[in-house]
Amino acid sequence: MIYLFNSAFRPRYVRNVLNTLYLPEHCTNEYRYRFTGDKPSISAGFYSGLESLQSGIECIMTFIDRYAEGGYTYHPLRKARFLGYRVVADYVYLKVELLDFIYPQNPLRFKENLIAQLQDKGMPRLTEGNPEYQHDGYYAIESDSIFGRFEDFKTKDDAWTNAVTALSSTKALRTDDNQWPIFLKVGIQSRKDTVSLTPTIQNQTALFQLTKDEVFELVLTYRFPQQRVDNTAQCRVDIKLGENIRALGGSSLTVDSASNSAIISLTTRRYAEDNRGNIELAGPSQTKPLILIPDAPIEYLLEEGTGFWVQIIVALALYAIAGALIGVDFSKLSPFSWLALVKAALPRIGLAAIQAGGLFWLFKRIGKKVL
């Protein structure tokens, strides 16, 4: 197992904690760690062993509360699956596939078990009594799993709710006059059958495959701690859609409750220049209080539905048959019979089918861009 830690020491890391709680299951996310200089966040041994790490190894994403009373406190948030890595400048970026949420039934016991497992491997912990001391340990560690006992952990919505409650009381994700965090999670479902969609992973990128000319629903669930302090507090989160998707109604979420779940209905376009796009969130541009929301994009790919391909097959078959019949010399069919017509057209149908397929392929390649 790979233990991935994030202490939200910088604003970018705070956003990534929110992204970890936000993204749907089987979406991908990256975690960045410095491997050079006098304050690396991963060990030389871990870095040198990256090439031998096999795709699919289990991971766990854990948030560290640096300012907790009595030293660091550890909040596991989510299971994941290692996909790969990239190296840019002084940092290594670990790409994972996010899986189910997880949170301990007994956080204190979990902390004890985690320290017992990783203390000899340089895990992050309070150093020199200073929670802002940066060289406090390694933030990506490979070791045996301590998550074997299923009954010791909450999962799914229960885990998400408990994790959000715990994190909202930490310094990094506090609610005060300077910042208002909004904890969100999102799902996409088909309106027709209300079944949650699962993305597929292509080249380490998660893509939701959406059928053209259908209605889908973006299900947004949130927790807004400021509402518990001031029940008049509210803000708006805009949903930025690609050009090939439009909202059926408003494309924004009004956050005006301590907790809520809302549905944004979307329809995919029948004709689109580009079949790819993404869905992003955008908060208010005000600087104080700063509205903290996830910023990870959700990518999608528009595809044709089953009905489209049935119609295409029928149309191509009719085109091929008509092309074959055009080449038949009906004057030689005397006396005329349907059997004679079939015998005369049959040798030409194969070539006509190839011609129809070539024409279809040509239009698929050209699309609307040339016409």
pLDDT by residue (tens digit) across 134-149? Answer: 889 999 999 999 999 9
Confidence tier at 370 by pLDDT (50, 70, 90): very low
Confidence tier at 333 by pLDDT (50, 70, 90): low
Confidence tier at 303 by pLDDT (50, 70, 90): confident
Query: Span 119-136, mean pLDDT?
Result: 93
Torsion of CA 49, 50, 51, 53, to 10 degrees: 90
Sorted by where each starts, the structural domains of the chain and their CATH numbers stand as 1-172 (3.10.590), 175-303 (2.60.40.2950), 306-366 (no CATH)
| Exposure string for 70-106, b = 16+ CB within 10 A, e = fewer | eebbbbbbbbbbbbebeeeeeebebbbbbbebbbbee
Helix 156-167 with 11-22: angle, nearest 10 deg: 160
Q: How far is CA 74 from CA 85, 137, 141, 145, in A?
A: 24, 14, 14, 15
Query: Span 192-204, mean pLDDT?
Result: 90
Asked if the model's pLDDT at residue 314 lies above 80, the reply is no
Output the six-digit token pair for 122. Answer: 């340089």
Query: Span 80-89, mean pLDDT?
Result: 96
pLDDT by residue (tens digit) across 255-279? Answer: 999 999 999 999 998 877 778 899 9
Q: Which pLDDT does position 371 carry in this prediction?
A: 37
